[in-house]
Chain A
Amino acid sequence: MSSIESTSPGGAAVLVRPATPEPPPPEIVSERARIDESCAVPCLVWFASSLFWLLVATVFGLVASLKLHIPGMHAEQAWLTFGRIRPVHLNLVAYGWGAMAAIGVMLWLMARLSRVPLRWPAALVFAAGFWNLGLLLGTIAILAGDSQGIEWLEFPTYVAFLLFVGFAITAVWALMTFAQRRVEHVYVSQWYMFGALFWFPWLYATVQVLLLLVPVKGVPQAAINWWFGHNVLGLWFTPIGLATAYYLIPKVIGRPIYSYYLSIMGFWTLAAFYNWAGIHHLISGPVPAWLVTVSTVGSMMMIIPVATVAVNHHMTMRGSFHLLRYSPTLRFVVFGSMAYTIVSLQGAFMALRVYNEPFHFTHHTIGHAHLGVYAFFTMIMFGAIYYIVPRLTGREWASSRLIKIHFWTTAVGITLMFLVLSIGGMIQGFEMNQASASLGSLMDEHGFFGGVYEFFGGFEVQNGAVPFLDIVAGTIPWLVLRSLTGVLILVGHVAFVILVVRNVHAWGKQRRGGPTLFHELPATATPALATTTATTTQTPAGGEERA
């Protein structure tokens, strides 16, 4: 069984023999209890903060979305103008929800995988304080009109400083935990987290210095801007998301990762290629052509790590897909992993000139961004929080129905949002660059199908014939639909926050017994599934030793 041991998260400690589910030895149980106890306060503080900012960011996103089709709404309020609330939405999603959830998950994963409790957890609460203060001041600054004016970096320098201090503390804590690890084997999740902890400060420091403190002049700013904007996704959110998926999928289904070698290849090809992407935001723009070309090559090379991870996760899941019916964690994480494959493959092709030039400056790109940050990263973080929080509080989730509401509103919401923005954005780009007349005018004239036929029939490679305001009019119905999908997602977030608040504060009726699943387990559960849950009832500490 040695091969299984070496590829299971945490090494031999969590070895699961699918055929004979046995509870782990008592010393492992008490070790995990000690680790979870050390993580409880800091991780819950980071999670609670991330959820607060998630709600705020969702509301800002929804208002921004509404303003795209109701431009006169509260127009007299300068602080609510679209150009201010849109960057607030992005920054609070990225640095508020995304980064804080990622750090909470990372701290717990690092402690569990290293089999070491967190030392001095109070420092991590202190770091969260810095981070939250930074987000608050940054939000106020943008709303007050004190934005830096660079996408992804709108927060003023003093906010960047606060975030940097908060990050430095958590990074040092995670790395110290890693350095003290009691496991010889370094699991693939730890490589990804190690990389992310190293790449993010380098990225952030580079842009703070070269774009804001002593700014370089001219278009290199744009190249650096997009090197950062893309790498903060590729080298910070993506590795944390993948680290989490690599840990949780084998844990929940009780089987090891399919291939250790695919894991290695996936990590190193991501490290080698992802950091070259980003300049494709400037295709055919005022930058040297070689810069765009190397970036496009890097984007296409990303197919290798993406395909590698997809195959590895799929082969791990093979034979366990029926468990998606029961486990909330698994369902969120597998949804996110599948979205990762789709968004990355789409992203690779979006770097090609023939795809990029017509559609880059449209809502199509916004759809892609939401597929990445939400359908992939956010859904995996949801899954992780469902897995981790009961282990920190010792309480199971109070309501299976609320988890169902959360899953279906967000899964359906983000899928529809992606489709609406992608299709609407494609029509917008086609009208801006290739169509001879707007789809709307052609439909008025030729009916629905006739209009579509004429629309694509009027294709010219470079055609600026459609009046701009006709293009705008064509986007409005899609933007209205997008707002509706945003409402759906907001409902899901409210359900999730209610669940977390009830769990942390032990409000309302408490569930007893095993973990909260979508459906009752059948009596004839498969061996892997039995491993996932059967041991839970034996421990009072809230599902301590679910595999």
Chain B
Amino acid sequence: MNYASWLFLGVFLTFAASWVALVFIPNEQLKGLQSQRDEITGELHPAPFSGEEERGMRVYVANGCVYCHSQQVRGGDWNADLERGWGSRRSHPKDYIYDVPQQLGTMRTGPDLSNIGVRQPSAEWHYRHLYDPEITSPGSNMPPHPFLFEKRKITGARAPDALKLEGEWAVEQGWEVVPKPGARDLVKYLQRLDQSYEIED
């Protein structure tokens, strides 16, 4: 064999080793995971995505929420994920079986969202927070997302999910701010983020 062949064999084998170990085996190990049924309520944990949640996840992806928000509560001895109240337990591979693409994230410019549906169950809170984070979280450096909302003239009755805006955010008399469909879906997705069930092994 000449030099180039040895070189080829070397770079092939070294790389193939990690491909098998880090790409192939984890998937073989974890691909059989299935959701579990709560014997009392009959609910599936985790539940498959509804159509709204699926669309909401796309809004989450399109606007790059993952660049500031993780979705993983770590175990380990050197972090305070549990102490901060970001979850009642460590995240488990089972929690993510329906998540494509996964949004585990690498950054916490904002807090972890693994259980945001438990911490903030109210859609109204999410709408106000998305419209301008300063309303609910003064000092936040999260960008406002006014483009997920529509300011429109009230025709007839006020829309049921129109935002209650006061002070500097108040809109003129006769006008209202309502979430666009994307914002509604996104909030459905955020409300779905819940890892509070017990994992059965």
Contact = CB atoms under 8 A, between A and B. Distances in A.
B62 A145 contact: yes
B133 interface: yes
A83 B133 contact: no
7 contacts: A71-B133, A86-B67, A186-B7, A210-B23, A215-B101, A357-B79, A361-B108
A77 B147 contact: yes
B79 A433 contact: yes
A294 B91 contact: no
A195 B85 contact: no
A84 interface: yes
- Counting chain A CB atoms within 10 Å of each CB, the highest count among B12, B63, B103, B145 belongs to B63
B76 interface: yes
B153 to A, nearest CB: 19
A282 B26 CA distance: 13
Interface string B97-133: 1111111111111110000000000000000000001
B170 to A, nearest CB: 17
B14 to A, nearest CB: 4
B193 interface: no
A219 B98 CA distance: 10
A272 B14 contact: yes
A282 B30 CA distance: 15
A148 B21 CA distance: 25
Given A84-B62, A464-B85, 13 more contacts: A68-B141, A78-B147, A149-B60, A151-B106, A198-B11, A218-B97, A221-B99, A227-B18, A271-B10, A288-B93, A363-B109, A366-B107, A472-B139
B158 interface: no
B61 interface: yes
A223 B22 contact: yes
A357 B143 contact: no
Interface string A329-373: 000000000000000000000000110111011110110000000
A96 interface: no
- Counting chain B CB atoms within 10 Å of each CB, the highest count among A268, A295, A357 belongs to A357
Interface of B: 3-4, 7-8, 10-12, 14-15, 17-19, 21-23, 26-27, 29-31, 33, 60-68, 70, 72, 74-85, 90-111, 133, 137-147
- Counting chain B CB atoms within 10 Å of each CB, the highest count among A67, A219, A221, A362 belongs to A219
Nearest to B33: A218
A279 B106 CA distance: 12
**Chain B at the A interface: mostly helix, strand, loop or mixed?**
loop
Contacts of B33: 218
B101 A148 contact: yes
Contact of A178 (B4, B66, B79, B142): B4
Given A82-B68, A151-B106, A464-B85, A202 B19 contact: yes
A81 interface: yes
A69 B141 contact: yes
- Counting chain B CB atoms within 10 Å of each CB, the highest count among A216, A218, A468 belongs to A218
A362 to B, nearest CB: 7
A46 to B, nearest CB: 24
Contact of A219 (B96, B142, B144): B96
B63 A194 contact: no
A72 interface: yes
Interface string A469-493: 1001101100100000000000000
A315 interface: no
How many residues of A sit at the interface, in one of the four size bands?
35 or more
Contacts of B8: 194, 198
B15 A275 contact: yes
A39 interface: no
B22 A291 contact: yes
B143 to A, nearest CB: 5
A267 to B, nearest CB: 9
The 6 closest A-B pairs by CB, nearest first: A83-B64, A284-B76, A149-B61, A464-B83, A464-B84, A145-B62
Contacts of A77: 147
B78 A462 contact: yes
B140 A462 contact: no
Interface in A187-229: 191, 194-195, 198-199, 202, 206, 210-211, 215-225, 227
B169 to A, nearest CB: 12
B74 A463 contact: no
B4 A76 contact: no
A464 B78 CA distance: 11
A279 to B, nearest CB: 6
B63 A215 contact: no
Contacts of A1: none
Contacts of A227: 18, 22-23
A215 B98 CA distance: 11
Contacts of B60: 149
Contacts of B74: 283-285, 357
A84 B63 contact: yes
A195 B13 CA distance: 11
